[in-house]
């Protein structure tokens, strides 16, 4: 049994290599949830979805995020309607996120991940590091920013003065 602590775009590369030498049934992947949030009414757990897509051989290995050969019809239509999104979410990726959002209405995040992994034919255990929502604020030279605003909208350019975490309970 091998346990992988997962987060970020390096994880898919590591998991792809591990899948070549280790039986996926022997892998447990504990995935970062610190950046999870709602966008356009859908729960986005980018790191979890990246692991799901990697383990089901669906990952877009050009960007190491999202689904290979995905379309962006919904995203583009939302822009046309004057409702731009911070994140560029593909249509297949969005369907996964919608399903996860609906599953979480009845189950927690861990159970939702378990159901999605099973539906995708994944034999590895994929476990979120936490069921609790958290919030990251980046204090910068231009003010306090939500994590995704800092990362995506501002391209990580403002000078970081501090990082604030809420609902994170250090051991």
Q: Which residues pair with 135 in a beta bridge?
A: 166
The answer to whether residue 170 scores a pLDDT higher than 50 is no
Let me know: does 88 contact 153? Beta carbons within 8 Å: no
> Long-range contacts for 17-22 (Cβ within 8 Å, ≥24 apart)?
19/55
Query: Residue ranges of the domains in the chain?
Result: 2-128, 135-166
Q: What is the pLDDT of residues 138-156, one digit of tens each?
A: 899 999 988 888 888 888 8
Residue 51: φ, ψ to 5°: -65, -45
Q: What is the pLDDT of residues 75-93, one digit of tens each?
A: 999 999 999 888 899 999 9
Q: What is the pLDDT of residues 54-70, one digit of tens each?
A: 999 999 999 888 999 99
Q: Taken in order 107, 108, 109, 113, is the CA torsion positive or negative?
A: negative
Q: Which two tokens stand for residue 91?
A: 């249509």
Rounded Cα gap, residues 112 and 102, in angstroms: 9
Let me know: does 29 contact 68? Beta carbons within 8 Å: no
Q: Which two tokens stand for residue 67?
A: 């689904």
**Under DSSP, is residue 165 helix (H, G, I), strand (E, B) or coil?**
strand
**Under DSSP, is residue 6 helix (H, G, I), strand (E, B) or coil?**
strand
Q: Which two tokens stand for residue 155?
A: 């391209």
Q: What is the pLDDT of residues 45-58, one digit of tens each?
A: 999 999 999 999 99
Residue carrying the six token digits 């689904």: 67
Average of per-residue pLDDT values in the chain? 91
> Taking the domain 2-128, which CATH number applies?
1.10.8.240
pLDDT band at 98; cut points 50, 70, 90: very high
């Amino acid at each position: 049994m091998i346990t992988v602590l997962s987060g970020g775009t390096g994880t898919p590369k590591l998991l792809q290599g591990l899948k070549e030498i280790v039986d996926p049934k022997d892998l447990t992947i504990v995935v970062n949830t610190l950046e999870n949030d709602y966008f356009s009414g859908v729960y986005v757990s980018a790191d979890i979805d990246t692991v799901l897509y990697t383990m089901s051989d669906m990952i877009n290995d050009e960007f190491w995020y999202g689904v290979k050969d995905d379309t962006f019809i919904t995203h583009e239509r939302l822009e046309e309607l004057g409702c731009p999104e911070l994140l560029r979410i593909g249509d297949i990726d969005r369907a996964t996120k919608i399903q996860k959002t609906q599953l979480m209405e009845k189950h927690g995040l861990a159970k939702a991940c378990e159901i999605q992994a099973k539906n995708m034919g994944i034999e590895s255990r994929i476990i979120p590091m936490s069921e609790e929502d958290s919030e990251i604020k980046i204090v910068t030279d231009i003010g306090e920013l939500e994590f995704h605003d800092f990362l995506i909208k501002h391209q990580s350019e403002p000078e970081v003065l501090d990082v604030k975490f809420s609902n994170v309970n250090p051991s």
